[in-house]
Amino acid sequence: MPSSTTTTRDPGLRFTCQPGCTRCCEVKGYVYLSESDLPRAAAYLGLSAAEFERRYVYRTRHLLRLRKPRHSQCHFLQGGGCAIHPAKPTQCRLFPFWPELVGSRKAWRETARWCPGIGTGPLIQIGTALETAGEMREAYPSLYEDD
Ligand code: SF4
Ligand code: SF4
């Protein structure tokens, strides 16, 4: 319907994680850890940080990421859930309020195609979403240093 006033509904930033869903743990990609994620996850599993790193982490000069098992995206995706849920890495905890998603309507809409929580639940204030995205930047400075 042509109109001089916009008829496009702005869905805003709505999000509620859906019970039982693990889609974001299954999409292709890396799971990065902040320096403080590592000892927290280790302690949750009753391991030393060094042992956790030896078993599960790949460290580069500027980044830490979980090693990938051969047939899934994440070692900790077990029995339909996250085996380290209370101590999961920052990027998992903050999804989908990542800077690259909050800052791009297109990226947000594309992510909504596979994340069933996007577009549901209460409207999230943009300030709150940006604050959460800022937490991502702080946790992973080398991933966002060129922004
Ligand atoms: S894909 Fe979306 S709804 Fe599903 S677990 Fe991840 S954040 Fe929650
Ligand atoms: S650490 Fe947990 S939440 Fe993060 S990708 Fe792995 S299973 Fe999913």
Question: Ligand 2 centroid to 82 CA: how many Å?
Answer: 5
* DSSP three-state, residue 87: helix
Would you say residue 126 has pLDDT above 80?
Answer: yes
Q: What is the number of the ligand closest to the CA of 40?
A: 2
Report how far residue 67's alpha carbon sits from residue 114's, in angstroms, rounded to the nearest whole number.
23
pLDDT of residue 145: 86
Backbone angles phi, psi at 48, to 5 degrees: -75, 160
pLDDT of residue 4: 36
- Six-digit token string for 81: 């859930």
Report how far residue 19's alpha carbon sits from residue 30's, in angstroms, rounded to the nearest whole number.
23
- In the block, tokens 């994440």 appear at 74
pLDDT of residue 128: 94
- List the domain boundaries for the chain: 14-144
pTM of the model: 0.90
Would you say residue 7 has pLDDT above 90?
Answer: no
Report how far residue 90's alpha carbon sits from residue 33's, in angstroms, rounded to the nearest whole number.
7
Higher-confidence residue of 4 and 90: namely 90
Determine the average pLDDT of the residues in 55-73.
95
Element (H, E) at 123: strand 118-123
Determine the average pLDDT of the residues in 90-114.
97
23 Cα nearest atom in ligand 1: 1
Ligand 2: lining residues by beta carbon, under 6 Å = 25, 31, 74, 76-77, 82, 84, 88-89, 92
